[in-house]
Structure 1
């Protein structure tokens, strides 16, 4: 300890009670940093590790003349009232809870604590309520959250798993019944179309070929249009003024991810955002002690909070995200996967878009996803090329044109009010990202793409790839069925252009994957048997339509992939193009496997293992390390990150 501090009356109320526990250096740093980032001095001390949340709250309670509420050791009983979920959400949002004895428990830090002190000191209020100080208890936001999870976890979990299905059944994949079987039957008919067109051409066959070609060509034209459009996006310079940055919550759902936890924590700690305004919620399952132990060892910073998802409803990532959402205190909510390594300034770039004039109607900002382990094998290289075409070419064009698109499963940054308006995630949809993208559009929000990258790990082995891709196709099918139940309602909510773009993008991709092998079989069979050229007008029309779809489809895919690889600076196009037909056949297998699961196991979540990559593009990049000094002139030479 060190003497010579200013009097406590001259200090912000949030640290006046701990002045005797601080050195002069800690005190000066806390005051300067608080002004610089626009936060409370107690939040600065907590983020820097100088004092714990309990120490700060206990000192503040003594300074204000109120009691401290540990909120510990109170187990739930059957006699306790059952509050509504909305009341619990309001409790967590405001940080104010009324106990059964009438006393108020307030979880406050920073500006909230200053506001509480002002109210306690207000002369009229103190005069009319002499027992005011004895009626208020102070606690920490962490203790209040833990208390709510312990006492009302069942209510929150039930809401997370079942609310959308109960209140908006038409918006949930959990209510898909006979439509799943109808979809499977239509998929089988779709598979027969190339054979029927080949063997029995006629006016009806021409009409059928035209309908199918419109869907497939529309899907391809979107890609060709993206290739021809200029590279324009919603990106702005990162927001550098820390005082303007809002509170930000990140949610990461983990299951059996102990291997990747050290990398995850390092990636999150590398994010350039004031720790005083950052909250990271890590959601785990109760039967995953290995991941819990790994988080206990590595996620030590006060901004990390670990939440255990109760075993209620389907065990899916969207349910885990819903479980964490009520505890998110940020104005914006970001989603990451366990293996993600985002660009450090990604949150600042998202904030810049949200705060722009056009950002008022943006409900979600999607960062670009890229494959880090490109050189692990031919599958990862194909995956990287596919991602490059999707996230670096197609999605930026859709965002610029104000069209909805299926969000990536990670690096989504949401405006909290938009996320609440859409109802959160659908726990029964195994591609919750695609579903939420169109639901946001139906609620009047649009999405944008920013020029910030998150590196991901792709499966190295084809079995792992097949399981992951099967889940994706199954989720896209679920999304089609959910929003295709009432097409007119979709067009009314999202607009005709947005509705058509959704069906072409999602429906065209699914249809192309399912029909592709049968089309190839028909063409190959005709070449093998030496079938003569058709003479009938209908047969000529059918073959002309098929040839146009083939040429335009392959050209669009190749151009989109090549342009994406160029923008992503992935070398080896000559190694990707020859294997694209094989990769597309693998996608067809995954699509048909998804049809089977849609009927037999619609909520099955086939998890992808992470932490198995052998190579990394990010580790090979040159980075410049700067040693902090007063002048900033002492800089190290560039070196590789793993040097």
Structure 2
């Protein structure tokens, strides 16, 4: 750096703010960057929404980030720091945590005597940070630099470190990252259990089968009882819409993880652009894996708006959605963090409703889960059944579980968090392939509550047999992993959740896992229907066998009732006639369950990705969700 440039920077920084801030609106109009008409509109929007003028101007494309940076520097009387002219001092890079720098848009840049120059992209936050910075660094002054430059510099120096943190941010006791490690104790337990089962099967096969059937029946009764309880509880649940808040609205960051999604990237931008939340308060982060050049090229070609940006995740030991979101969380500006998938089409007013609801709830309400629905339910029989299943889960079971006071296993999309709570529980478990379900339980263990909000996101129903099985096997494997992780210490889980939520955890996860794994044992009773002998005919009295058949029929009736109620609450009345065919749909889950169980043993962290863009919306407006 030249002596003359250092002198200029020193002079500017020394007099920063001495003349008082000049109106940036006047600066931009007089320089011809923004027309008077556009500025009047932006000023009116800022007054109405309480949003900073600079964010409105950039988000609406009235100025570029570089133009705004230069204008803000002139307004505040500080220097713009160009890394091509004055590179940041490498010896200062370890003075502040890189995640902290990313979160606040700052970076220690250089020293002028005892004073540290802090580059910032958010001058409005600098004064609030000054006491904390001064306590760590001594005297500080502000310089201006673009947020893109700050992030690029931090990633260049600390990207690998941040990526490693993203894999291990959840503490070991709450993470699944050691689930593939075969310790001596685990080996003895596994070998002993396998030997006992084989011996039982060899020496008492009929009794062994009877135990399996009994366990399957108990699971069936638990599942059906839970469905009935959730059905009646969900009828009592409040469906009142959130009232619009009169307070200043918060910034909302939306994480959208993308992997090989070049075919749907442009459509995603169009769908997210429908959101009616002020774009100056939207911070959409498109999270890509490093090296995913096809998706990056598709996004660049689609010309995403200024309120969207791309964050690339450096390579690591695993490649999972939760790892990518953990990495991107440090780049978020918002105090509310939302998650969408690549194929999502949220209702236009969804973010407004979520922000309003958070403003009306206490801080321990850490999460809001929306409703997922499909825009292609009429594509084929599988998509119809999938839509019925989603209606049952999101319109009956989840609201019912919440009303009953149970912990909620979250969905992987249309889920929103208070950032402070998400950081308190240390984000997502990067090794869990159903990070959403795990996070819902972990939030409950930390004393947080999840609410259901009737706001809808439409997405693409996975309607091809083998891709459906692959997706479902990942979900069921993740449920197995989540159950295993949280049940490492049952007494501790009981203590942190409380007896009632502990019971709910068993009912939700055990029934989800065991119903599919043990379903073939219940299929054996079809032998009786066809007049064939059943393996347990000699052990079960005729009256008891009749009772068992009655239980099966009642269980089917309960499933039918709950599904009919769910579809009646959805906009898909035409699916009612397809509900009776669901008994042909769920056997696919058996194949998925055993695939998931196999992968749990041989490759527990494998993420069997679902591909999108194969089934378009049923009609032109089907992907425009309405609450």
Bin the TM-score by the shorter chain: 0.7 to 0.9
Residues 600, 45 of structure 1: alpha-carbon distance in 2 compared, 3 angstrom cutoff: same
Aligned to 1:60: 72
Deviation at 1:69, TM superposition (A): 1.9
**Cα contact 1:191–1:514 (8 A) shared by 2:** no
Residues 89, 563 of structure 1: alpha-carbon distance in 2 compared, 3 angstrom cutoff: same
Q: Secondary structure at the match of 2:235?
A: coil
Pick which of 212-221 and 42-51 moved more: 212-221
Residue 586 of structure 2 is aligned to residue 571 of structure 1 = no
Residue 42 of structure 2 is aligned to residue 30 of structure 1 = yes
Alignment partner of 1:433 out of 436, 439, 451 = 436
**Cα contact 1:400–1:448 (8 A) shared by 2:** no
Partner Cα distance (1:349, 1:605) in 2? 32
Residues 521, 535 of structure 1: alpha-carbon distance in 2 compared, 3 angstrom cutoff: closer
Alignment partner of 2:257 out of 253, 257, 273 = 253
Aligned to 1:628: none
- TM-score, scaled to structure 2: 0.85
Residue 175 of structure 2 is aligned to residue 163 of structure 1 = no
Aligned to 2:560: 558
Partner Cα distance (2:370, 2:293) in 1? 31
Aligned to 2:233: 229
Aligned to 2:602: 600
Aligned to 1:632: none
**Cα contact 2:275–2:347 (8 A) shared by 1:** yes
- TM-score, scaled to structure 1: 0.83
Residues 488, 114 of structure 1: alpha-carbon distance in 2 compared, 3 angstrom cutoff: closer
Aligned to 1:524: 527
Alpha carbon RMSD of aligned pairs, Å? 3.7
| Matched positions, count | 595
**Cα contact 2:266–2:302 (8 A) shared by 1:** yes
Q: Secondary structure at the match of 1:103?
A: strand
Partner Cα distance (2:201, 2:553) in 1? 16
Aligned to 2:102: 92
Aligned to 1:582: 584
**Cα contact 1:235–1:349 (8 A) shared by 2:** no
User: How does 1:281-360 map onto structure 2 within 5 Å?
Assistant: 281-357=285-361, 359-360=362-363
Residues 560, 417 of structure 1: alpha-carbon distance in 2 compared, 3 angstrom cutoff: same
**Cα contact 1:173–1:482 (8 A) shared by 2:** no
Deviation at 1:35, TM superposition (A): 1.0
Residues 392, 27 of structure 1: alpha-carbon distance in 2 compared, 3 angstrom cutoff: same
Residues 305, 614 of structure 1: alpha-carbon distance in 2 compared, 3 angstrom cutoff: closer
**Cα contact 1:248–1:330 (8 A) shared by 2:** yes
Alignment partner of 1:103 out of 103, 110, 116 = 116
Residues 614, 250 of structure 1: alpha-carbon distance in 2 compared, 3 angstrom cutoff: closer
Residue 111 of structure 2 is aligned to residue 144 of structure 1 = no
Pick which of 219-228 and 388-397 moved more: 219-228
Pick which of 552-561 and 338-347 moved more: 552-561
Q: Secondary structure at the match of 1:619?
A: coil
Deviation at 1:409, TM superposition (A): 1.1
Deviation at 1:99, TM superposition (A): 3.0
Residues 464, 182 of structure 1: alpha-carbon distance in 2 compared, 3 angstrom cutoff: farther
**Cα contact 1:38–1:242 (8 A) shared by 2:** no
Partner Cα distance (2:393, 2:625) in 1? 27
Aligned to 1:503: 506
**Cα contact 1:372–1:618 (8 A) shared by 2:** no
Q: Secondary structure at the match of 2:405?
A: coil
Deviation at 1:24, TM superposition (A): 1.7
**Cα contact 2:458–2:624 (8 A) shared by 1:** no
**Cα contact 2:254–2:337 (8 A) shared by 1:** yes
